[in-house]
Structures are given as structure tokens and as C-alpha cells.
């Protein structure tokens, strides 16, 4: 008897009312003409799978990574032991921007907002005792995405795992870095080359890996509206698709491996509608613009994270409620995986207690709320369907406007997308300050109680120990092989070949992330944010 057979899930309410797999006008007696289709069928408004969560819950991830690889490894094992079904890695700023931990510019940032990774030695310790053929791993990394993916492949090989078995995602969305986040290294053209190299490599070598997670999350966190989040994300996606098509790959060949990343904000019903609209719009773009024939190439598969920007340092326990509302919106919207923020993240790195509460929030939604009993239970709501249609319509208007400018890259370089986000952010903040929007505990219902949340701090010794390990590594590795692999990378960068094989060869010989990026900086130059406003 299997575990699934033992569980025999009941798809019914607490009163014993059985839930149908899916509801349509036919089985609820409505006489209006529905155009929304069925789950698992084009245009996938109601979900990309016919059974959705009745067959399998979304992947429950918790974004984690801090201090040293060993400390982060301990947190990952803690999360897996408490019911996490996937890992999500946060990297520190030096790792994100291509510097080793001992670089002068990295001082003060090592291990602070994520784990410090400078070499294969660090990556081996990060995943020590975690079999990479048994977990799905998401890595939030962009300008150095190719290097981190190479390190992950190298660790798998050292574990004896065939890379074709690897499951997970590397964010690799460099365009949104120029728009909303800022952890870019190289100018847009070589950055696009690297991002496309990863997509091409994965299409041919890592069939179960998502080579890019095209991110609306950071666009929204920067202050955009829900409509802008969908529109700007898909404008970027079109740019990546065109770049990959230029390599000679067909859309159906690589599109099933594309993934997306959205936020779940506090406007509960709008967020549900946003996910439904995005799924339908991407299906239409795939079919009508790129000629997709394979249904899998039309499916919008996305990860969701609750809104970091909605968390408040004031009355931090209120954030538990905010996160629960946002997580429920993501589930009702049909997400494939979900990260729930911890209530103390507006203060510091999350504690084990707050991470556990965040994970339990997902588990309560999955097992106790009943919302997973039927697929797309909100379908047919006049308001939800109207919102879904309106978000899609307005997003299309933005995409068409960006197309008239020459595409996302041209719109980014002209400063258009950034200006639009800034305008929306300013409008929201003005409303909060005028109390036209109430933020509980911030501009209304204020108390003078002292915060008692436990603050997790990164020990200053982390950087010293990281530097010591890095210097010891440089002393024991094969210097001749390091030099040869870096020379080969330099030659590859001067040409047009896919850089992934050369980068993998480097990391397997313990060349550091910073050394690889220094070679690429020399060939590609550095971007200084010269966007016209």
C-alpha cells in the first residue's frame, strides 16, 4: 500500500459536503456563457493541470541562506525535516555581484543577506548530506547565474548524480536587474548572452531544470502595480525568447523549461485574478506570437513569494496575518510553488521560530482550509472574472506600447519601465502618508509596545573564517589548471560559443567566482547604470 493510498484524501467540507473536481456553469446551474475554459486546457486560465492540488500540492519552499555554507546547510536540513519540499537559496551581495569574499569591496557584506559562495568548496559544504537527485532547488541569482548553475552541476557530479536528474530553477533574469534591483555586472548585451547561454545549455543538457525564472516579483517590490508586474515581466520574457530563437532553437524546444516568479500582495482578489490573467495571457503569447504547438510550451509555470514590501517593523506579529492572506491568494491563483515570508524579516534575517511559522502557514492552507479540494474555486465570480479580463487587457496595452519602442531592452535603456514603476510607487506612498490607505500599525492603530522579536545576527567571524578557507583553497589547488581554464574561458568569451562548458570546467578546477567574473569583466566591461531618465 502506497502512502497516497493510505492517506485517501477527502475532498469534502467539514460538514461532509463532497467537492467536485471542478465547477462549471453546467454543474452549478448558472445560465451565463463562460469563456474561461477548463483546468489543464488552453488558455489555462483555471490552472495548468486538470487536477491541480487534488493530485499534488504546490512545492513548499522557504528562501534561506545566510552566513557560511555550513550554517546555511544546517538551516536547509532543518527546513527539510519540518516539511519543506524544496530548497530556495539566498546568496550574499558579493556572490550576487561577482566578488569573492576576500575582495576589498565585499567587506561588511559577507554572509549578510544570503550565503557566501566563492568556490566549489563552498558549494560542496552548502549541499553536504543533501542528495541533489532527491530535492528541487531554486537559486535566486542573476548576473552570476551561469557560475552558480555550473557549481551546482559540479556538486551533482561529485555526488555521483547525473545532471540530467537535477530539478530546480536558477533565476537568471538579468533584465529586471536593470529595471528594479541593481545586481548587474556587465552591460546589457553580454548579460543577455550569458542568460541565453544558460537557457540553451539547459535545453540540451539539463532537461528537468528551469534555466530562467522571469521575475515580476522584484518589479512589484520596487513599486509597480499588478498590471505592470504582468506586463513588464512578459515584455522581458519576449526579449529572452527572441534571443534564444536566434540561437536556432525552436520555441517548443525550450519554452517548457521557462518559469516565472510573481509576488502575492495584499489586495487579495486582485492577486487571484492577476495569476489567472497572467496564465491566460502567456498561453496566448506562446500560441499566437511564437507558434507554440506543444501544450507544455504554452503553460505559465510560476513560483510565488509573499510580499516582502508588505512586512512592517512595527507590530511584526501582524505580518503573520499578512503572509497568510497573501499565501492564500497564491494558492487560489494556482501557483506551482510558494515561499511564505517570516514575520520578523523587516527586522533581520528570520529566526528558526519565524521560519517554522511561515512554513506552517502553507501547511495549514494545504491541509486544513479546504481550498485545495477543488480546482479554481473562485471561477465564475463576477468580480474575479471581470478583474481577470481587465488585468489582461491593460497588460496587453503596456506590452504593445513597449513593442512600439523596440522591445523590453530598448524600453529599459530609455528608462521607460523604471519611470512607470517609480510613478506607481510614489502614488502608493502618497496615499499611505495621507491615510488614504491604512497600513495597520504604521499609520493607524499604532501602539507603543516594545518589539520583543528575537533578532538573528550574523557573527563578524563569518567573514574571517570564509577568507581563511578561501585562501587555503587557493594554496592547495592546481595553479596550472586554474590558469589554463581561465585562459580557455577568456578565448570563449571573445568568440560566440556558449560559455557554460568553459565555466563548468573552471569551477570543477576550483577557480573562484570572483576570478571568473574578473575575466568576463575584462572582456565585456562593467555596466554603470547609464540609463537616461
Identify whether 323 is part of a domain: yes
DSSP secondary structure letters along 413-429 = HTTHHHHHHHHHHHHHH
Q: Encode pLDDT of 250-282 as tens digits.
A: 999 999 999 999 999 999 999 999 999 999 999
Give the CATH number of the domain where residue 282 resides: 3.20.20.240
Specify if 61 maps to a domain: no
The β-bridge partners of 62 are 87
Tens digits of residue pLDDT in 169-207: 999 999 999 999 999 999 999 999 999 999 999 999 999
In a domain, 380, yes or no: yes
Would 440 be classed as within a structural domain? no
Average pLDDT, the chain: 92
Percentage of the residues of the chain whose pLDDT score is greater than 90: 83
For residue range 376-386, what is the model confidence (pLDDT) as tens digits?
Answer: 999 999 899 98
Is the pLDDT at 457 greater than 80? The verdict is no
CA angle 289, 294, 298 (to 5 degrees): 50
- Residue 2, pLDDT score: 41
- What is the mean predicted confidence (pLDDT) over 52-75? 90
pLDDT at 350 over 90: no
Are 396 and 402 in contact by the 8 Å Cβ rule? The answer is no
Q: Is the pLDDT of residue 533 over 60?
A: no
pLDDT tens per residue across span 208-242: 999 999 999 999 999 999 999 999 999 999 999 99
Q: What domain range includes position 232?
A: 3-56+126-433
Average pLDDT estimate for 60-77: 89
Q: Which is higher by pLDDT, 140 or 531?
A: 140
Q: Which residues contact 434 (CB under 8 A, 6 or more apart)?
A: none
Q: Is the bond preceding residue 401 a cis peptide, omega within 30 degrees?
A: no
Band of pLDDT at residue 7, cut at 50, 70 and 90? low
Q: Is 511 within a domain? A: no
In a domain, 521, yes or no: no
Number of domains in the chain: 1
**Structural domain includes residue 447:** no
The reply to whether omega before 43 is within 30° of 0 (cis) is yes
Q: Confirm if 178 and 150 have CB atoms less than 8 A apart.
A: no
DSSP secondary-structure letter at 408? Answer: H
- Residue 327 falls inside a structural domain: yes
pLDDT score, position 431: 93
Q: Give the per-residue pLDDT at 504.
A: 98
pLDDT surpassing 70 at residue 31: no
Does the pLDDT at position 295 exceed 90? yes
Amino acid at each position: 500500500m502506497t502512502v497516497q493510498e493510505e492517506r485517501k484524501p477527502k475532498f469534502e467540507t467539514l460538514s461532509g459536503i463532497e467537492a467536485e473536481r471542478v465547477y462549471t456553469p453546467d454543474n452549478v446551474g448558472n445560465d451565463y456563457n463562460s469563456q474561461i475554459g477548463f483546468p489543464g486546457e488552453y488558455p489555462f486560465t483555471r490552472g495548468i493541470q486538470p487536477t491541480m492540488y487534488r493530485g499534488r500540492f504546490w512545492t513548499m519552499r522557504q528562501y534561506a541562506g545566510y552566513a557560511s555554507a555550513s550554517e546555511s546547510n544546517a538551516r536547509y536540513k532543518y527546513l527539510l525535516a519540518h516539511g519543506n519540499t524544496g530548497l530556495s537559496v539566498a546568496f550574499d551581495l558579493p556572490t550576487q555581484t561577482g566578488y569573492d569574499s576576500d575582495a576589498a569591496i565585499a567587506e561588511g557584506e559577507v554572509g549578510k543577506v544570503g550565503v557566501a559562495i566563492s568556490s566549489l568548496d563552498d558549494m560542496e559544504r552548502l549541499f553536504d548530506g543533501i542528495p541533489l537527485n532527491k530535492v528541487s532547488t531554486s537559486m535566486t541569482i542573476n548576473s552570476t547565474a551561469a557560475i552558480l548553475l555550473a557549481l551546482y552541476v559540479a556538486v551533482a557530479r561529485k555526488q555521483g548524480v547525473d545532471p540530467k536528474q537535477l530539478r530546480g530553477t536558477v533565476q537568471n533574469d538579468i533584465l529586471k536587474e536593470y529595471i528594479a534591483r541593481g545586481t548587474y555586472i556587465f552591460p546589457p548585451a553580454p548579460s543577455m548572452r550569458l542568460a541565453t547561454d544558460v537557457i540553451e545549455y539547459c535545453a540540451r543538457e539539463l532537461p528537468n531544470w528551469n534555466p530562467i525564472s522571469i521575475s515580476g516579483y522584484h518589479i512589484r517590490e520596487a513599486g509597480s502595480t499588478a498590471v505592470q508586474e504582468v506586463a513588464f515581466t512578459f515584455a522581458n520574457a519576449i526579449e529572452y525568447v527572441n534571443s534564444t530563437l536566434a540561437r536556432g532553437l525552436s520555441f517548443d524546444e525550450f519554452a517548457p523549461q521557462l518559469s516565472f516568479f510573481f509576488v502575492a500582495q495584499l489586495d487579495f482578489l486582485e492577486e487571484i485574478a492577476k495569476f489567472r490573467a497572467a496564465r491566460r495571457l502567456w498561453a496566448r503569447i506562446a500560441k499566437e506570437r511564437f507558434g507554440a504547438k506543444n501544450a507544455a510550451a504554452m503553460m505559465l509555470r510560476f513560483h510565488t513569494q509573499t510580499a516582502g514590501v508588505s512586512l512592517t517593523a512595527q507590530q511584526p506579529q501582524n505580518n503573520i496575518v499578512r503572509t497568510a492572506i497573501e499565501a492564500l491568494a497564491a494558492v487560489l491563483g494556482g501557483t506551482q510553488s510558494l515561499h511564505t515570508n517570516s514575520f520578523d524579516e523587516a527586522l533581520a534575517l528570520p529566526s528558526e521560530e519565524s521560519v517554522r511559522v511561515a512554513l506552517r502557514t502553507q501547511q495549514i492552507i494545504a491541509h486544513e482550509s479546504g481550498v485545495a479540494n477543488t480546482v479554481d474555486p473562485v471561477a465564475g465570480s463576477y468580480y474575479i472574472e471581470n478583474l481577470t479580463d481587465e488585468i489582461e487587457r491593460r497588460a496587453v496595452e503596456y506590452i504593445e506600447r513597449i513593442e512600439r519602442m523596440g522591445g523590453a531592452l530598448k524600453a529599459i535603456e530609455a528608462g521607460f519601465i523604471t519611470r512607470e514603476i517609480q510613478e506607481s510607487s510614489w502614488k502608493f506612498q502618497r496615499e499611505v502618508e495621507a491615510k488614504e490607505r491604512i497600513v495597520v500599525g504604521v499609520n493607524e492603530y499604532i501602539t507603543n509596545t516594545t518589539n520583543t522579536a528575537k533578532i538573528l545576527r550574523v557573527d563578524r567571524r563569518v567573514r574571517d573564517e570564509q577568507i581563511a578557507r578561501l585562501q587555503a583553497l587557493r594554496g592547495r589547488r592546481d595553479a596550472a589548471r586554474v590558469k589554463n581554464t581561465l585562459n580557455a574561458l577568456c578565448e570563449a568569451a571573445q568568440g560566440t560559443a556558449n560559455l557554460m562548458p568553459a565555466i563548468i570546467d573552471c569551477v570543477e578546477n576550483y577557480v573562484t567566482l570572483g576570478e571568473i567574473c574578473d575575466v568576463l569583466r575584462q572582456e565585456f566591461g562593467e555596466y554603470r547604470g547609464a540609463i537616461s531618465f
